[in-house]
Amino acid sequence: MQTPKSSDPRSFWESRYLSANVEEVSWYEPVPHLSLALLEIGEAEPSDSVIDIGGGASALAEALTTRGFTDVTVLDASEEALRVAQDRWSAAANVTWRVADLLQWQPDRTWTYWHDRAVFHFLTDPSDRETYRNLLLRSVPIGGVVAIATFAEDGPTMCSGLTVARYSTEQLVAEMGTGFVLISSGRYVHHTPSGAEQPLSWVVLRRAS
């Protein structure tokens, strides 16, 4: 039997972060190795604008500002997750933090680099994936880069009690639609804090039309 998806992402994820130590959640990585590798594959430069979709308490924003990126936005459904991320380092005020359900969010600008590690796979409803694609088209200009990592076909079937959709790299490319061309794709095995292995599929795409 499938576990229903979260009907209210803001309250679901806020409770999740309030009840957990961020260094113990399954997706925790002290150094965001995969995310940084994807930025390199997408040839992101410090002059690029970057949005981390569902960035949560990830250390990616800190790693980016440390590398000289000056236009970094992190969006997440959980205010608590962003508070934890911001409390971690003194230059957090240079990052734009947005608390929003991405499915309801109306972006008021664009970014040249879109990053999503382990968020798209929560969208099990086709209409939510359609909303995500429309958001991408509004948020990333032609020439911009999109990096997305999800659980692979042989990855976990659930995360935080929610059913997830699993993808091969080919399926992920197809999900994003014909306006994007593949730069590179691959597989990455994430090691959870408790020592489990979680295979991920990742793609880096350029918006072509």
Ligand X SMILES: C[S@@+](CC[C@H](N)C(=O)[O-])C[C@H]1O[C@@H](n2cnc3c(N)ncnc32)[C@H](O)[C@@H]1O
- Do 200 and 34 form a contact (C-beta atoms < 8 A)? yes
The answer to whether 148 and 203 have CB atoms below 8 angstroms apart is yes
Residue with the closest Cβ to ligand X?
56
Stretch 11-30: interaction string toward ligand X, x if CB under 6 A: --x-------------x---
List the one residue from 42, 54, 144, 155 that touches ligand X (CB under 6 A): 54
> In the stretch 165-194, what mask flags binding to ligand X with x, by CB under 6 A?
------------------------------
Q: Which span (62-70, 85-93, 118-126, 198-206) binds ligand X, by CB under 6 A? A: 118-126
Q: Does the protein bind ligand X through residue 155 (CB under 6 A)?
A: no
What angle (nearest 5°) sits at the alpha carbon of residue 181, between those of residues 118 and 53?
Answer: 25
Does residue 35 contact residue 72 with C-beta atoms inside 8 Å? Answer: no
The site for ligand X, by CB under 6 A, has a size of 19
Smallest separation, CB 13 to ligand X (Å):
3
**CB environment 156-170: b (16+ within 10 A), e (fewer):** beebeebebbbbebe
Cβ–Cβ under 8 Å, residues 6 and 159: no
The residue within the footprint of ligand X, chosen from 55, 61, 97, 207 (CB under 6 A), is 55
Chain residues that interact with ligand X, rule: CB under 6 A: 9, 13, 27, 54-56, 58, 76-78, 81, 101-103, 117-119, 122, 159
